Amino acid sequence: MKPWRWLKNTTRRFTALFLAGISLSVAIAACTPNANTSGTGQQGQASTVDLTLVSFAVTKAAHDRIIPKFVEKWQQEHNQTVRINASYGGSGSQTRAVIDGLEADIVQLALALDTERIEQAGLIEPGWEQEYPNNSIVSQSVPVIVTRAGNPQNIQNWQDLARDGVQLITADPKTSGVARWNFLALWGSVTENGGTEQQAQEFVRQVYQNVPILTRDAREATDVFYQQGQGNVLINYENEIILAAQQGGQQLPYVIPDVNISIDNPVAIVDRNVDRHGTREVAQAFVEYLFTPEAQAEFAAVGFRPVDASVAQRKEVADKYAPVNTLFTVQDLGGWDTIQQQFFEDGAVFDQIRAGN
């Protein structure tokens, strides 16, 4: 029987109650807040909005300084409280977590390849690199060579790592994002300095002959070098060395090679999640804030090289970060897709080097 025929046979009172029930249900549904918002402010605006930021581990010190400033600014301008729930870990692990269901609104990862994987999973729209300044690169660093006290091996540049007697500790670039930067720094020190790819492969082969153990990730490599005392040189991020010293650790001797790669860390909005959460406006504002001189100064304070030129030119920043004579990028090596295929896929250059080819 069709609904309207049934209703015609009911009493007016029941009909009124039934319709009142429908109206009440619609009203409740309309007033139910989004999972990432709570309460209402002026003109129906939620009084509180939650964002989830997923980032690689060493950005925590910078974000701890930046987030409160953004929250205060947004509160003053919009009379709305923002709560940013941040998750930190290895870039590759964070990438997998987002793909597997961690509902990040924003991701800042160690390399664009990781962000591209989230894009390929359908969570980030294509073209995210063009959404923000500097191709969405929000923080930068460079690889450095850490030595034992007094630099007994007299290490001055990448080429010294191929000498007899050197024992280099580094992670496996097949499993570690940091180690991929290390590998590319070694490779580019030849090709971006006038050498051929054949010369680069021979040089990198000689360097990896001096690696007694390939650790799974950069943190393990650091532990092997410092806690276990293995090796006499370690490749690490400049920002990690600076931050360790600031946090009361020892002053670690290190060398910045004059031909080096720019470690570029991108930021992106996770489109599918912000649209589902209703947080796009605030998420975009936070990402835009990360590029401001105020936020870039905080990145610089904890070891990252700022991407804002006005901050980089400040005396206290310029004095802190030694210039690199030849600074190349991933794009100079063909971009991440080419790099992954040429160097890190199964049977590619790195596997050939490890096999002694």
Same-domain pairing of 234 and 333: yes
Sign of CA dihedral 221, 223, 224, 229: positive
Same-domain pairing of 340 and 229: yes
| 106, 54 contact by CB (below 8 A) | yes
| 279, 287 contact by CB (below 8 A) | no
334 CB neighbour count, 10 Å cutoff: 13
Least confident of 26-35, 72-81, 151-160, 346-355: 26-35
DSSP character at residue 341: I
| 4 part of a folded domain | no
For residues 123 and 103, give the distance between their C-alpha atoms in angstroms, rounded to a whole number.
10
Pairing of strands 254-255, 143-147: antiparallel
pLDDT score of 29 more than 70: no
Sign of CA dihedral 342, 343, 345, 348: positive
Same-domain pairing of 284 and 167: no
Instruction: Tell me which residue has tokens 């998750």.
Output: 87
| 132 part of a folded domain | yes
Same-domain pairing of 252 and 277: no
pLDDT score of 106 more than 90: yes
3-state secondary structure of 215: strand
| 166 part of a folded domain | yes
pLDDT for the residue numbered 30: 29
pLDDT score of 38 more than 70: no
DSSP character at residue 333: G
Same-domain pairing of 116 and 213: no
pLDDT for the residue numbered 181: 95
pLDDT for the residue numbered 261: 98
For residues 8 and 280, give the distance between their C-alpha atoms in angstroms, rounded to a whole number.
47
pLDDT for the residue numbered 40: 55
| 309 part of a folded domain | yes
pLDDT score of 25 more than 90: no
pLDDT, mean of residues 322-345: 95
3-state helix, strand, coil in the chain (%, to 5): 50, 15, 30
| 125 part of a folded domain | yes
The per-type count for the chain, helices as H runs and strands as E runs, is 16, 13
- Number of domains the chain contains: 2
Same-domain pairing of 81 and 217: no
pLDDT score of 184 more than 80: yes
Of 243 and 128, which is predicted with more confidence? 128
Same-domain pairing of 257 and 268: no
Same-domain pairing of 158 and 84: no
pLDDT for the residue numbered 24: 33
For residues 81 and 71, give the distance between their C-alpha atoms in angstroms, rounded to a whole number.
7
| 29 part of a folded domain | no
Q: Quote the tokens at residue 286.
A: 């936070």
- Which among 168, 138, 175 has a CA at the least distance from the CA of 289? 138
Of 354 and 283, which is predicted with more confidence? 283
pLDDT, mean of residues 82-95: 92
pLDDT for the residue numbered 65: 97
pLDDT for the residue numbered 343: 97
| 23 part of a folded domain | no
| 144, 254 contact by CB (below 8 A) | yes
3-state secondary structure of 83: strand
Question: 302-317 pLDDT, tens per residue?
Answer: 999 999 999 999 999 9
- Which among 91, 96, 105 has a CA at the least distance from the CA of 55? 91
Of 145 and 252, which is predicted with more confidence? 145
Same-domain pairing of 198 and 169: yes
Task: Using a pLDDT cut of 70, give the percent of the chain over it.
Answer: 87
3-state secondary structure of 266: strand
Of 36 and 278, which is predicted with more confidence? 278
Q: Quote the tokens at residue 271.
A: 């489109």
pLDDT score of 26 more than 70: no
Same-domain pairing of 162 and 251: yes
Same-domain pairing of 192 and 331: yes
| 118, 54 contact by CB (below 8 A) | no
pLDDT score of 21 more than 90: no
50 CB neighbour count, 10 Å cutoff: 19
pLDDT, mean of residues 277-298: 98
pLDDT, mean of residues 12-40: 41
Least confident of 63-77, 167-181, 284-298, 324-338: 167-181
Same-domain pairing of 71 and 121: yes
pLDDT, mean of residues 99-113: 96
CATH assignment of the domain containing 245: 3.40.190.10
CB hemisphere CA count around 23 (13 angstroms): 6
Which pLDDT band holds residue 287 (cuts at 50, 70, 90)? very high
For residues 270 and 105, give the distance between their C-alpha atoms in angstroms, rounded to a whole number.
5
Q: How far apart are the first and last CA of the chain?
A: 79
Quote the crossing angle between the two packed helices 218-226 and 177-191, to the nearest 10°.
80
For residues 201 and 180, give the distance between their C-alpha atoms in angstroms, rounded to a whole number.
15
- Average per-residue pLDDT in the chain? 88
Can you give the pTM of this predicted structure? 0.84
For residues 247 and 228, give the distance between their C-alpha atoms in angstroms, rounded to a whole number.
21
Q: Residue 206 sits in which domain range?
A: 143-261+325-356
- Which among 328, 324, 323 has a CA at the least distance from the CA of 192? 328
List residues bridging with 143 in a β-sheet: 237
pLDDT score of 12 more than 80: no
| 31 part of a folded domain | no
Furthest C-alpha separation in the chain: 98
pLDDT score of 116 more than 90: yes
